[in-house]
Amino acid sequence: MADVAARFGAEVIRVEAPWGQPIDPSDLEEALKSNSGVTLVGIVHAETSTGVLQPIEEIGRICREYDALLLLDCVTSLGGVPVEIDNWGVQIAYSGTQKCLSCPPGVAPITFGERALGKVRERKNKVTSWYFDVSMVEKYWGNDRVYHHTGPITMNYAIREALRIVFEEGLEKRFSRHKLASLALQRGVEALGLSMFAKEGARTPTLNTISLYDGLDDGAIRKTLLNDFNIEIGGGLGPLAGKIWRVGMMGHGATQANVVYFLSALEVIFKKMGYTEKVGSGVSACANVFSDS
């Protein structure tokens, strides 16, 4: 987000938190106090790099207080956890189709509030990007149907079907399924002597980050998971490379069967590699979560 904004000539003010912890709303408020006239606050709802779920309700309140538009990246959250655009005061939100919606990649759901569209309509100059000129796209999707581009029709059908499946399941049931699968995964890896990386209380169930203890061969384990069990998990990014695993638990993938299979695969690999101390306890701890639900 910061990189994109800077490329368009925006003055970017970063508000940061240690990796694995959510943004402190008071830090955002201090930044807005110290820098008058901020137009836009951009934040990622559920971070794929750290597994953190941000406190958007409080951040939205602060943005409204300082008359800043709130832009929310919902790529890893939409369809897996509640995304309350209006209640949180979000003016612009975008997502992807390939994660919790379990739809092929290729289109990006996006929504604009009236305040955000008002900013576009007040512009004196044309939007820099013709491709993403919202004033033109708005007319294309609105009643005027002014041509802007040829729509990806097959993808429109795909996302319609994906959304039909979401609503057939029901949002609350879907959110609960993601939460339960994530909890079972957490209890399982903890029983194996691992720990969760993201701060407790600020974890997104859609992307689980697992801290590795000293001596575990990150690359060898992930390679064996892929080659022997057809399971692909992500490694750590940036300063977390070699220190954490990133395990997606999204959409169709957030199931009891997948969690049990992943943990049993880990136990087989751990046993083969000599990490035998707690082998057998991971699947058992996971089973307890599902059996008690």
Q: Is residue 225 part of a domain?
A: yes
- pLDDT confidence tier of residue 166, bands split at 50, 70 and 90: very high
User: Do 75 and 99 contact (CB within 8 A), yes or no?
Assistant: yes
Q: Is residue 76 part of a domain?
A: yes
C-alpha 233/C-alpha 227 separation (Å) is 12
Domain boundary, last residue among 84, 116, 151: 151
Query: To the nearest whole number, what is the mean pLDDT of the chain?
Result: 95
Residues contacting residue 113 through CB under 8 Å, at least 6 positions apart = 69, 85, 90, 91, 92
Question: Do 36 and 84 belong together in one domain?
Answer: yes
Q: Report pLDDT digits (tens) over 225-266.
A: 999 999 999 999 999 999 999 999 999 999 999 999 999 999
Q: Report pLDDT digits (tens) over 91-120.
A: 999 999 999 999 999 999 999 999 999 999
DSSP string, 237-289: -GGGTTTEEEEE--GGG-SHHHHHHHHHHHHHHHHHHT--TTTTHHHHHHHHH
pLDDT for residue 279 is more than 80: no
Per the structure, the complete domain to which residue 252 belongs is given by 171-292
Residues contacting residue 213 through CB under 8 Å, at least 6 positions apart = 193, 194, 195
Strands 92-94 and 110-112: antiparallel
Average pLDDT for residues 190-197, to the nearest whole number?
Answer: 94
Question: Do 121 and 183 belong together in one domain?
Answer: no
Question: Do 188 and 253 belong together in one domain?
Answer: yes
Half-sphere exposure of 227 (CA within 13 A, CB side): 7
pLDDT > 90 in the chain, percent? 90
Question: Do 211 and 114 belong together in one domain?
Answer: no
Q: Report pLDDT digits (tens) over 133-165.
A: 999 999 998 888 899 999 899 999 999 999 999
Cα 101 to Cα 72, 82, 193, 253, 258: the distances in Å are 17, 13, 32, 10, 17
Q: Is residue 238 part of a domain?
A: yes
Question: Do 224 and 287 belong together in one domain?
Answer: yes
Question: Do 120 and 235 belong together in one domain?
Answer: no
Average pLDDT for residues 59-75, to the nearest whole number?
Answer: 97
- pLDDT confidence tier of residue 205, bands split at 50, 70 and 90: very high
User: What pLDDT sits at residue 276?
Assistant: 67
Domain count across the chain: 2
Average pLDDT for residues 168-186, to the nearest whole number?
Answer: 98
pLDDT for residue 40 is more than 80: yes
Domain holding 282: CATH number? 3.90.1150.10
Question: Do 243 and 285 belong together in one domain?
Answer: yes
Q: Is residue 163 part of a domain?
A: no
Phi-psi region of 73 (alpha: psi -120 to 50; beta: other; left: phi over 0): beta
DSSP-derived letter for residue 92 is E
Q: Is residue 157 part of a domain?
A: no
Question: Do 55 and 86 belong together in one domain?
Answer: yes
pLDDT for residue 45 is more than 90: yes
Question: Do 238 and 183 belong together in one domain?
Answer: yes
C-alpha 131/C-alpha 123 separation (Å) is 17
Question: Do 267 and 190 belong together in one domain?
Answer: yes
